[in-house]
Structure 1
Amino acid sequence: MTHACTSGPTGRRGWTRLGARREAGRTRCGARPAARLAARPTRSGTRRVAAAGPFRARRDRGSAAVEYLGFLPLLLLVALAGVQLGLAAYAAQQAGTAARAAARTGAQTERAGGAAQAGKAAVSDWVGKRADIGVAGCPGDTVTASVTVSIPSVFPGIDHFGPVHKSATMPCDESN
């Protein structure tokens, strides 16, 4: 792109692209007059430039910390919601594991109590304490284990996330 120094009808020196109109605020051939430093023209109007000096620095000190403190509760709420979503997914996964283990054990043995114990043993302790396991089936063709686990809450005072229900069905072992 080729540039040329110009001097317009007002006597101000600036630069333009050859064949293009003069662009305000860009000078290459001479310095900008001191009066034009305080206000710079833009397409939408005049933009005021803040005064430089010790008063401006003193006035803005600590504003980022105040903005961060205002935004911090929202960040904490989003983080706790993510943890709550992870707990719900973990409880659902553990309920499925307990249902499969209870159905597998119930298909191999005749005692339903042993199947419920196997389901509780297959999951972590805090899920096992919250789990309600029911096994029904054999001596029929299949055994079905149903597990209900309540989802814990990370929000103080809110415990309305409900339970997770999972079930598993397995064919009964031929020896039963």
Structure 2
Amino acid sequence: MLEFAGFLPFLLVIGMAAIQLGLVGYAANQAGSAARAGARAESLTPGTGNAAAVTSTSGWLQPAPSIPGGGDTITATVTVSVPAIIPLFDDWQLTRHATMPNDRENEGS
């Protein structure tokens, strides 16, 4: 029993680190999906990319899209805030980019 009590804090830290790693993976997936959705929406209908990026992401990740328009391609950048599970670490930002061809530019060709 005494050995288990001494080993328990290490097990808890390892478990929390595993949960944190899962959160980072989930946030990276959400940011990448939001960047693709935002770039695609902006390439089809100018002005809709930011809304598409925000709605395709979990709200608790606090997505911050940046999608400048114009040119032959549309590049969307989405930054999400990854919450910290381990109290010693602060929240950090994770950024993903996606580029799509600008379909509005090619319609007249």
TM-score (norm 2): 0.90
- May I ask how many residue pairs the two structures share in their alignment? 106
What is the deviation of 1:131?
1.2
Q: Which runs of 5+ in 2 are unaligned?
A: none
Q: Which amino acid aligns with 1:133?
A: P
Q: Which has the higher helix share?
A: 2
TM-superposition CA deviations, 1:121-152 (whole Å, max 9, x none): 1122212xx111000132x1011100111211
In our comparison, the structure showing a higher alpha carbon Rg is 1
Q: Give the corresponding residue for 1:132.
A: 64
> Which residues in structure 2 correspond to 1:137-148 (within 5 Å)?
137-138=69-70, 140-148=71-79
What is the deviation of 1:110?
1.8
Q: Which amino acid aligns with 1:94?
A: Q
The share of aligned pairs that are identical, in percent, is 43
Q: Which amino acid aligns with 2:42?
A: G
Q: Which runs of 5+ in 1 are unaligned?
A: 1-64
Specify which of 77, 80, 88 is matched with residue 13 of structure 2.
Answer: 77
* RMSD of aligned Cα (Å): 1.5
Determine the C-alpha separation between the residues in 2 that align with 1:137 and 1:143: 6
TM-score (norm 1): 0.57
Native 8 Å contact 2:31 2:80 kept in 1: yes
Q: Give the corresponding residue for 2:29.
A: 93
